[in-house]
């Protein structure tokens, strides 16, 4: 009964390929996020969707395209993979209530992407 799940856990691919990482949450949350943890271990937000609507889009190359088919899923598609895309990607979700303080974000186990 994993709360936030990601597939695959590991992804090894060649430069130039296109790949997708899937994320699903069964917590009934209405907001989902993608974070990237780089080689220096910084966790940085990439995107956030609230009820399938994009609300955060950091300065991420447009090769990265999030897709939210419904509020329980937020997938990350990456085109033309580059060496610098190698990182661990974490999905997260939260139940945000208007007017309240930031709600806790629950993270998935991460997907380690290695671009060769």
Instruction: Tell me which of 48, 66, 68, 87 binds another protein, using CB under 8 A.
Output: 48
- SS3 state at 76: strand
Exposed (0-12), middle (13-18) or buried (19+): which is 41, by Cβ within 10 Å? exposed
3-state DSSP assignment of residue 24? strand
Task: Determine, following the binding rule CB under 8 A, whether residue 25 of this chain makes contact with another protein.
Answer: no
Q: Does 46 bind another protein (CB under 8 A)?
A: no
User: Which tokens belong to 87?
Assistant: 């990182």
- Which C-beta is closer to another protein: that of 62 or that of 100? 100
Where do contacts with another protein occur on this chain (CB under 8 A)? 4, 31, 33, 35, 40-45, 48, 50, 55-56, 90, 92, 94, 96, 98-110
């Amino acid at each position: 009964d994993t709360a936030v799940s990601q597939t695959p856990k590991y992804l090894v691919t060649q430069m130039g390929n296109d790949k997708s990482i899937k994320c699903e949450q069964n917590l009934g949350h209405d907001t989902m996020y993608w974070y990237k943890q780089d080689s220096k271990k910084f966790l940085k937000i990439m995107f956030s969707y609230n009820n399938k609507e994009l609300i955060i889009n950091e300065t991420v190359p447009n090769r990265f395209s999030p897709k939210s088919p419904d509020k329980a899923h937020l997938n990350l598609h990456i085109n033309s993979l580059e060496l610098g895309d190698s990182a661990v990607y974490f999905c997260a979700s939260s139940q945000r209530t208007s007017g309240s303080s930031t709600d806790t974000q629950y993270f998935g186990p991460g997907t380690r992407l290695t671009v060769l």
